[in-house]
Amino acid sequence: MFSSSSWLHLRIPFSYFLLPVFLFSLAISPNITGPSILWTFIIVHLFLYPASNGYNSYFDKDEKSIGGLKNPPPVNRGLYYLSLLFDVIAMALGFLFINLTFAVMLLVYGLVSKAYSHPFIRLKKLPITGWLVAGLFQGLFTFAMCYIGINKYSIENVLTPNVLIPGTLSTFMLWANYPMTQIYQHEEDQKHGDLTISRKLGIRGTFFFVSGVFTLVAAGFVLYFYIFFQSKYAWTFLAALLPVVAYFFIWFYQTYQDDSKADFRHTMWLNFISATALNAYFIYLFLDSTHVSQTF
């Protein structure tokens, strides 16, 4: 019913790069159970994110590399329906296995993500608004949504500093990272008339901007771990970021000499190193701070 190209455009493996928000939310969750963790992960990473990827791919119709696909195949109408089917499955599973609040948040996330590429709104044409909305919903909103799913809570349970502060830090981290995911797409975005924040900043400006915002975000995380956890978690967080920072500045130097180095391959490597470092750190935070490993 659906072509292989449609399944490719769902880019399910790309969900790995967005996993840190889920793991961070898990690490601070007080009411965890195996089934709720598993279902929240499956719903968000195997259905919600792929639905968003596929829907946006359908309207973008990119011919050059996109996140997770070096050579994207042409899109067809089947991709549109497949992405909507994945959205419906996500909401149905969310309602059946978590609660109504979680299902409604899945709906809201899906609608906002569609606004990013749909021609009627296309936030991708608005550099500041698109950047702010993407970071807010992939950060704080997703953090709160995962927190509700993992703990089976209602909306009032997330309106506390214990949730809003780390959720906001997640948004700032996304705001720091997001321009780098667009840096190799300037030519394609120009062809479509899209003015992303990275295209507005330029290649070198994107590196300078991200390095400044990332420094502030790292300081915010360190302060958070000092206040809400222990100093060892702050130092471990900084240690986890070392490979990311090292790769970033090596790539920055290469690109400063040659703009063509701002390409798909380097971007995907930065995404992979960053996601791996943060995923490993938040798994460590979850296991060590909750002492859950001692129950095995």
- The region of weakest confidence among 32-41, 67-76, 169-178, 261-270 is 67-76
| Region 229-235 average pLDDT | 95
Which CATH number fits the domain that encloses residue 245?
1.10.600
Give the whole-number percent of the chain exceeding pLDDT 90.
Answer: 81
Which pTM value belongs to this model?
0.94
Confidence category of residue 290, pLDDT binned at 50, 70, 90:
confident
Confidence category of residue 295, pLDDT binned at 50, 70, 90:
very low
Question: Please, what is the average pLDDT of the chain?
Answer: 93
Q: Say whether pLDDT at 63 is over 80.
A: no
pLDDT tens per residue, range 202-214:
999 999 999 999 9
pLDDT for the residue numbered 293:
53
| Region 57-77 average pLDDT | 83
Query: Which amino acid does the sequence have at 104?
Result: V
Q: Which residues contact 172 (CB under 8 A, 6 or more apart)?
A: 135, 139, 213, 216, 217, 220
> In total, how many domains does the chain have?
1
Confidence category of residue 61, pLDDT binned at 50, 70, 90:
confident
Q: Which domain holds residue 117?
A: 4-295
pLDDT tens per residue, range 154-189:
999 999 999 999 999 999 999 999 999 999 999 888
Structural contact between residues 49 and 88, judged by C-beta atoms closer than 8 angstroms: no
